[in-house]
Amino acid sequence: MSRPLTSTPKADGFRMPGEFESHGGCWMLWPERPDNWRLGAKPAQHAFTAVATAIAEGEPMTMGVSPAQYQNALAMLPPHIRVVEMTHDDSWIRDCGPTFVINGAGDLRAVDWEFNAWGGLDGGLYFPWDQDALVARKVAQMERVDWYAAPLVLEGGSIHVDGEGTLLTTEECLLNPNRNPLMTKADIEEMLGDYLNIEKTIWLDKGVFNDETSGHIDNIACFIRPGVVALTWTDDKSDPQYEISKDAYERLTAATDARGRKLEVHKIHQPTPVLITREESEGVDVVQGSQPRTEGERLAASYINFYIGNGVIVMARFDDPQDEPARQKLAELFPDRKIIAVPGREILLGGGNIHCITQQQPLGRK
């Protein structure tokens, strides 16, 4: 059975676990819309297949696929990946999917946030988004878990938690008037407390330069484990990312978490700025209301947007000199996991990266 609940996770003793805790599986959505993915999404489909295959080394993987793409996805994906029919608007399940919560007994439930495609009609990335808005409930139903409908516009990529009461986010996103214009910072913190069992929110100012999500945290900083954070970095003072990362570093090193710990902050140097080529731009259909992909535009490339899976870290590589130092740093930070670097450029061209296209399901009782 899978029912909507009217209480809150906090009242019921549920919390959002850290991504580094054990997973029962992972969810993705298959890319296909030609106004976001070049060449009818074929290169993106190969990139998504590589990500799903890497994650499936450590946990059961499910791909939600539209009816039109069902046969193709089944043919492209390895047979141990479950393919389920799931209508959606685009492929960012981190943002439109459920946030799972667990309790001390290991029971699993889902939080279904309100979704408005990163800003609705005031700066959102496409219209309509009604099918994406149903994804969280569809996943909860398929997994037979109860869910809470949270009265807050929130994308999963705008939060990272340590599983012990601390949440990282950015003011650029969560305080953006195109998300929850009638809520104050304190109101939002209260919601994060009620729906994720958060006691302490650490606010960074902005996300990665030119990130079309209004600066999601999952592209700039994340928890490695409680008390340890990774941050995207550049030493180039002329790069607009420099001041953003410097401010984030200062805020993180000044902060204490919900348990009163100081944070250990690890810098991971960003790749050389990635710009859209003419060929890439010309491969995307132009549709009014969708995000244009203009030649020369800088993409929000970052190594922070990785997925922490059971036994693996799945990170993006950009065929850049910083790929190897980033891989080495992640290997040092996650000594017990295999680091798998997959091509990230085609996913980045759609506006996000590996973390944005995945949603972990914690190991729990259903």
CA distances from 2 to 141, 147, 284, 350 (A): 5, 7, 39, 33
Q: In the window 233-292, what residues touch ligand KQY (CB under 6 A)?
A: 291
Q: What is the spatial distance between Cα 301 and Cα 85, in angstroms, rounded to a whole number?
A: 31
Pick 157 or 163: Cβ nearer ligand KQY: 157
Pick 252 or 347: Cβ nearer ligand KQY: 347
Question: Candidates 87-95, 185-193, 200-208, 249-257 — which segment interacts with ligand KQY by CB under 6 A?
Answer: 87-95
- What's the min distance (Å) between Cβ of 117 and ligand KQY? 8
Instruction: Please list the alpha-helical segments (H only) found in 176-260.
Output: 185-196, 240-254
- What's the min distance (Å) between Cβ of 209 and ligand KQY? 14
Active-site annotation holds for 356: yes
Does 92 participate in binding ligand KQY (rule CB under 6 A)? yes
Say how many residues touch ligand KQY, by CB under 6 A. 15
Q: In the window 342-361, what residues touch ligand KQY (CB under 6 A)?
A: 350-352, 356
Question: Candidates 20-28, 89-97, 262-270, 330-338 — which segment interacts with ligand KQY by CB under 6 A?
Answer: 89-97
Question: Candidates 92-100, 143-151, 311-319, 337-345 — which segment interacts with ligand KQY by CB under 6 A?
Answer: 92-100
Pick 36 or 99: Cβ nearer ligand KQY: 36
- Name the phi and psi angles at 290, rounded to 5: -95, 155
Ordered DSSP codes for 308-365: EETTEEEEEE-SSTTHHHHHHHHHHH-TTSEEEEEE-HHHHTTT--GGGG-EEEES-B
Site mask for ligand KQY (CB under 6 A), range 18-47, x = bound: ------------------x-----------
- What's the min distance (Å) between Cβ of 116 and ligand KQY? 12
Among 157, 165, 207, 364, binds ligand KQY (CB under 6 A): 157
CA distances from 265 to 3, 200, 227 (A): 40, 17, 9
Q: In the window 115-154, what residues touch ligand KQY (CB under 6 A)?
A: 125
- Say which residues have a Cβ less than 8 Å from residue 180's Cβ, sequence separation at least 6: 152, 153, 174, 187, 188
Under the phi-then-psi rule, with left for phi > 0, alpha for psi from -120 to 50, and beta for the rest, what region is 75? alpha
Does 215 participate in binding ligand KQY (rule CB under 6 A)? no
List for the chain the helix, strand, coil content (%; round to 5).
30, 25, 45
Q: Are 19 and 207 spatial neighbours (Cβ–Cβ below 8 Å)?
A: no
Pick 179 or 216: Cβ nearer ligand KQY: 216
Question: Looking at beta carbons, which residue is closest to ligand KQY?
Answer: 352
Pick 14 or 307: Cβ nearer ligand KQY: 307
Pick 255 or 300: Cβ nearer ligand KQY: 300
Instruction: Please list the alpha-helical segments (H only) found in the chain.
Output: 9-12, 42-55, 70-76, 93-96, 135-143, 171-174, 185-196, 240-254, 278-282, 323-333, 345-348
Summarize as ranges the residues that interact with ligand KQY (CB under 6 A).
36, 90, 92, 94-95, 125, 157, 212-213, 216, 291, 350-352, 356
* Residues with catalytic function: 356
